[in-house]
Structure 1
Amino acid sequence: MTATTQKIFLVRAGASGEDENYALEHGVAIIRFSEYPSLATAKDYAAVLALVKASQTQINSRAAGNHAGQLWAYAVAMQVGDIVVMPRKITAQVALGRVTGSYKYAKVGSDLRHVRNVEWIRPDVPRTAFGQDLLQSFGALKTVYTVARNNALQRVTTVLAGKIDPGFTPTQDPTRNPDPGFADDDAIALDLALAAHDQIVAHIQARFHGHALAQLVNAVLTADGWTTKLSPPGPDGGVDIFAGRGSFGLDSPRLCVQVKSQNTPSDATVYRTLQGSMLTFGAEQGLLVCWGGFNKVLLAEAKQGHFTVRLWNSSDLVQAIYRTYEKLPPEIQTQLPLKRAWMLVQDEPET
């Protein structure tokens, strides 16, 4: 496969990420569309559209075209060597891999599912590793679609190789895909709440790096009723923040907090260091805040400490900020100006 023919396909693992773990553990990308049988005999878009209409006789033409376009992209257009992007709702990360096998209709658990084999090369890329325009493409309300605009192929390939997203410059020609069944990124409905959330995450990343992120976490804990002591910049002995209940912070539970601002997943060494600090300082609870999230080994190990240590990634910290924002000090609100907005919640379609 040449660079000119290679494509990027975004494939979701369920509306709530319910298929994420299975997909990563078994090296597959799976979609539901359980109302449709095997697509193995469909060789082009017209054949997929005919199958959709035959399976759902009451479906309107717009929905039929929508379903057929996604199913055709997944079963026919997707080729071995293409890149698969799977946004992870459970961990606020993005999994990146390459297609390794043809379409098949196979049993997953007790159900027959539409399946593609994928080698998940980077299963835990932080969302913060991508530019806002790519995150916007990743937030479209579809199960399967291609990501093509703003030189996406080169940029995602760069991240897949372990480097940072080089971003898009306006002098580059945005890529458009003329194939049937593909939708232009700009024309796809977006998850507006997720887009706003990603914008806030990017703002925090730009303005609260290093010790400033520890200061932000400290402000959130204070607003949440903890009495805290923030370690000064520099070596902190494994603890960025000491926290406790009561006027002097001496009452239980006592909390040790470690904050990591790097934009890469933290490993189990960081988790073990925090556990050691908890023993040293007599803290019953720990909070590990890692802006870049956590790798698979750390997450597995942290299950054993579920009742003593909590993990916060960038999304968890932002949720805590939402919860405590009105109580944050004025200087934090000035650096992070937010406004509550209301919108009508629409059903997130499987398609």
Structure 2
Amino acid sequence: MATGTPRVWLVRAGRHGERASWALDNQVAGGGFKEVDDLTRAATRDAVAGLVRAAFPDAKANLVANYAGQLWALRERITVGDIVVMPMKTSGQIAIGKVVGGYRHLTDPDPERRHVRPVQWLRTDVPRTAIKQDLLYTLGAFLTICEVSRNDGAWRMAQVLESGHDPGSRPALARATLAAADVPQAGDVEADASPAVDVERYARDRITSTLIEHYAGHKLEHLVAAVLRAEGFACTVTKASGDGGVDVFAGRGPFGLDSPRLVVQVKSDANPVGVDVVQKLQGALSSHGADQALLVAWGGLNGNAQALLINQHFRIRVWDADDLIDAVCRNYLRLPDEIRAELPLKQVWVLVEEDAP
């Protein structure tokens, strides 16, 4: 890690992201490990391990070491000024903040909301599409708490915090062997206790990366139209410029004139779209006499745009990258042969790995 670059820590918000909103609202990171007592007086890693053993008396040594490593990182190794990254499963975006205080054990009635560090959340809407594949793989570990360091991860996340974009590894580090498994370790956890990777999330990120390589810009509009045709709509893709805020017209019936009639706007940029795009789509919805509108925002929406759409649930639907991938997958066998050739997918069954607390 370069001198002056803060350390970066992945701190999850629960198996299903259930603590994310609470963490953002209360300016904290952490939680989980509900069985483990207050760590305030546990001044050494061995003392933390003792609390873990007391909480899990029948646990194997590897599990105790794993949990103790994560909690010791939360208790001591994370320092004020370090960067915290929190993936949010509910929105598909990533929150990034800076640690502003030491370990705290809260008295929250929910035991999943007690082991925390105070954090100032600085970005809460970074799309996964703004982060390159190798770093996304690092963020795909099942551990609740671990350091992000491989592949120049600390410097790159600092750049994401500043600019919203991952520039990739710096040249000197890019020459290193990046093909090796890039699963971060949790504190002092032994090598044989290294965490599994969220295979589903990793596979989805690979699909996302490949899809945008083939369908960036105007071509993404044709993919969206193909998906809507597979779902029973007749579609017309407008010209690449001068479209008046509508990229695709879609409707039922042989000519696409029957309800529901949709106006569709497609934004392939990795940045979250703002209020201006939403307002333009609202205008197109009215001026074209459409029943509903679909906004395909590859990078999602920023906070102001989300607030503007709160009362538009039955008028405007938003698809981010994950939603579009879902639509592609559920219609895959009905998509044109050329699309399936460019985006070859195969359904497989994998064993579900258990998440850390």
Shift of 1:30: 2.6
How many Å separate the matches in 2 of 1:170 and 1:308? Answer: 46
How many Å separate the matches in 2 of 1:177 and 1:230? Answer: 44
| Partner residue, 2:355 | 349
Q: Which amino acid aligns with 1:195?
A: Y
Deviation above 6 Å: which 4+ runs of structure 1? Answer: 173-179, 183-186
| Partner residue, 1:199 | 206
Task: Report the TM-score when normalising by structure 2.
Answer: 0.92
Is 1:95 the counterpart of 2:95? The answer is yes
How many Å separate the matches in 2 of 1:289 and 1:179? Answer: 37
Is 1:286 the counterpart of 2:293? The answer is yes
CA deviations 1:31-50 (Å, max 9, x no partner) are 21110111111122111101
How many Å separate the matches in 1 of 2:157 and 2:193? Answer: 18
SS at match of 1:322: helix
Q: Which amino acid aligns with 1:150?
A: N
Residues 206-215 or 4-13, more deviating: 4-13
How many Å separate the matches in 2 of 1:22 and 1:331? Answer: 45
How many Å separate the matches in 2 of 1:182 and 1:322? Answer: 37
With over 3 angstroms needed to count, the CA separation of the structure-2 counterparts of 1:151 and 1:206, relative to structure 1, is same
Contact 1:159 1:165 in 2 (8 A): yes
Residues 233-242 or 173-182, more deviating: 173-182
Contact 1:148 1:176 in 2 (8 A): no
How many Å separate the matches in 1 of 2:325 and 2:215? Answer: 12
Contact 1:137 1:185 in 2 (8 A): no
Contact 1:142 1:349 in 2 (8 A): yes
Q: Which of 302, 317, 321 does residue 295 from structure 1 map onto?
A: 302
Q: Which amino acid aligns with 1:336?
A: L
CA deviations 1:71-96 (Å, max 9, x no partner) are 11111111101110111111111111
Q: How many residues align?
A: 349
Shift of 1:57: 1.9
| Partner residue, 2:106 | 106
How many Å separate the matches in 1 of 2:91 and 2:186? Answer: 33
CA deviations 1:160-213 (Å, max 9, x no partner) are 111532223543588999995257799431011111110110011211111011
How many Å separate the matches in 2 of 1:146 and 1:37? Answer: 23
Q: Which amino acid aligns with 1:70?
A: Q
Contact 1:145 1:183 in 2 (8 A): no
Unaligned 5+ segments in structure 1 are none
Is 1:157 the counterpart of 2:158? The answer is yes
CA deviations 1:184-243 (Å, max 9, x no partner) are 799431011111110110011211111011111011000111111110211210111111
Contact 2:238 2:248 in 1 (8 A): yes
CA deviations 1:278-323 (Å, max 9, x no partner) are 1001111111001111111212221210111111000100010000
Shift of 1:248: 1.2
Contact 1:45 1:180 in 2 (8 A): no
Q: Which amino acid aligns with 1:107?
A: T
With over 3 angstroms needed to count, the CA separation of the structure-2 counterparts of 1:68 and 1:187, relative to structure 1, is closer
With over 3 angstroms needed to count, the CA separation of the structure-2 counterparts of 1:13 and 1:81, relative to structure 1, is same
| Partner residue, 1:136 | 137
| Partner residue, 1:228 | 235
Q: Which amino acid aligns with 1:304?
A: N
Contact 1:148 1:185 in 2 (8 A): no
Shift of 1:27: 1.3
SS at match of 2:333: helix
Contact 1:146 1:182 in 2 (8 A): no
Task: Report the TM-score when normalising by structure 1.
Answer: 0.93
Q: Which of 251, 258, 261 does residue 254 from structure 1 map onto?
A: 261
How many Å separate the matches in 1 of 2:126 and 2:145? Answer: 20
Q: Which amino acid aligns with 2:175?
A: T
How many Å separate the matches in 2 of 1:76 and 1:203? Answer: 40
SS at match of 1:253: strand
With over 3 angstroms needed to count, the CA separation of the structure-2 counterparts of 1:140 and 1:242, relative to structure 1, is same
CA deviations 1:4-37 (Å, max 9, x no partner) are 6832110111111111112112211132111011
Unaligned 5+ segments in structure 2 are none
Q: Which amino acid aligns with 1:156?
A: M
How many Å separate the matches in 2 of 1:18 and 1:159? Answer: 24
Q: Which amino acid aligns with 1:323?
A: R
How many Å separate the matches in 2 of 1:267 and 1:225? Answer: 30
| Partner residue, 1:50 | 50
With over 3 angstroms needed to count, the CA separation of the structure-2 counterparts of 1:12 and 1:185, relative to structure 1, is farther
Q: Which amino acid aligns with 1:94?
A: I
Contact 2:294 2:316 in 1 (8 A): yes
Residues 165-174 or 153-162, more deviating: 165-174
| Partner residue, 2:66 | 66
With over 3 angstroms needed to count, the CA separation of the structure-2 counterparts of 1:132 and 1:5, relative to structure 1, is closer
| Partner residue, 1:305 | 312
